[in-house]
């Protein structure tokens, strides 16, 4: 049994037996890790605080060779992120970031960029409109996982350059007018939407945040990305359902 010490962000917790927790946390170098912290409920709120969702902390854990569920022995909080927990919208969107990262990744699969994306997402949640930040978070996460929709040419015939086209959720790619009949459910994508979609896929998160675009364009991209994610995941995430349920409240 080897011991590890690493910084990480907590993306999920669940009760385990009477007084323990299963904690899922994302690290820069080790990827996603799942571990058990024993007796946490018996040791009071100070102990529990290190394992709250969104928390940036330093973890010490013992790696079990025959299991993906390791033993967490200690934690030291680096950033508690209380500000996220003070508002319904930031709680909801922060939880969505966590669930999406959890669903798209496997344990022990290193993705330093995802760790930094989570850090950036939590940092900007209180200063950037959460819905806009979520769209960029989705696109950057898809890019890191190799799931980013292909928009450079027609997926079917390879025709390019395409100033506009049709987006196939099934293929996760752009289809030209000539090949549209092969994908009857493909959604039309105009030139302005396509240009912004491509830029969001290529540019750094901070660069995307510096440029403003119309809500109409971003809403169209959001619709396509949501359809694509639901199709690829084969379900609607619980946090996404919750966001949809509270939209009327958030919009007031």
| 191, 192, 196, 199 alpha-carbon torsion, rounded to 10° | 50
Last residue of some domain: 80, 103, 134?
80
Is 173 domain-assigned?
yes
153 Cβ contact list (under 8 Å, min separation 6): 159, 160, 161, 162, 174
Structure tokens belonging to residue 155: 């997926």
Q: What is the reported pTM?
A: 0.94
Domain match, 224 and 153 both = yes
28-83 pLDDT tens trace: 999 999 999 987 765 554 457 789 999 999 999 999 988 999 999 999 999 999 99
Q: What is the CATH number of the domain that holds 59?
A: 2.40.50.140
User: pLDDT, tens digit, for every residue of 89-124?
Assistant: 999 999 999 999 999 999 999 999 999 999 999 999
Domain final residue pick, 45, 60, 80 = 80
Examine the pLDDT at 152 and tell me if it is beyond 90: yes
Q: Which domain holds residue 62?
A: 2-80
Identify whether 171 is part of a domain. Answer: yes
pLDDT confidence of 248, banded at 50, 70, 90? confident
Strands 187-189 and 31-37, by their bridges, are: unpaired
High-pLDDT (> 90) share of the chain, %: 85
Query: How much is the pLDDT for 28?
Result: 97
Q: Is there a single domain that holds both residue 76 and residue 154?
A: no
Tell me, yes or no, whether 204 lies in a domain: yes
């Amino acid at each position: 049994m080897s011991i590890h010490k690493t910084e990480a962000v907590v993306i999920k917790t669940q009760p385990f037996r009477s007084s323990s927790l299963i904690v899922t946390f994302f690290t820069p170098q080790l990827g996603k890790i799942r571990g058990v912290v024993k007796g946490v409920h018996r040791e009071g709120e100070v102990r529990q605080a290190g394992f709250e969702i969104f928390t940036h902390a330093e973890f010490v854990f013992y790696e079990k060779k025959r299991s993906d569920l390791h033993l967490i022995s200690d934690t030291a909080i680096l950033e508690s992120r209380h500000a996220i927990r003070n508002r319904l919208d930031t709680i909801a969107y922060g939880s969505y970031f966590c669930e999406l990262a959890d669903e798209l990744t496997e344990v022990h699969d290193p993705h330093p960029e995802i760790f930094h994306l989570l850090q950036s997402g939590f940092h900007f949640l209180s200063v950037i409109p959460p819905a806009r930040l979520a769209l960029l978070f989705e696109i950057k996460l898809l890019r890191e996982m190799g799931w980013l929709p292909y928009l450079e040419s027609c997926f079917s015939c390879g025709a390019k350059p395409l100033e506009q086209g049709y987006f196939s959720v099934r293929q996760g790619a752009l289809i030209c007018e000539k090949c549209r009949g092969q994908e009857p459910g493909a959604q039309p994508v105009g030139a302005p939407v396509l240009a912004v979609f491509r830029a969001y896929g290529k540019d750094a998160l901070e660069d995307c945040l510096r440029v403003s675009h119309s809500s109409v364009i971003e809403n169209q991209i959001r619709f396509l990305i949501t359809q694509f994610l639901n199709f690829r995941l084969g379900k609607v995430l619980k946090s996404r359902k919750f966001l949809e349920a509270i939209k009327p409240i958030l919009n007031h």
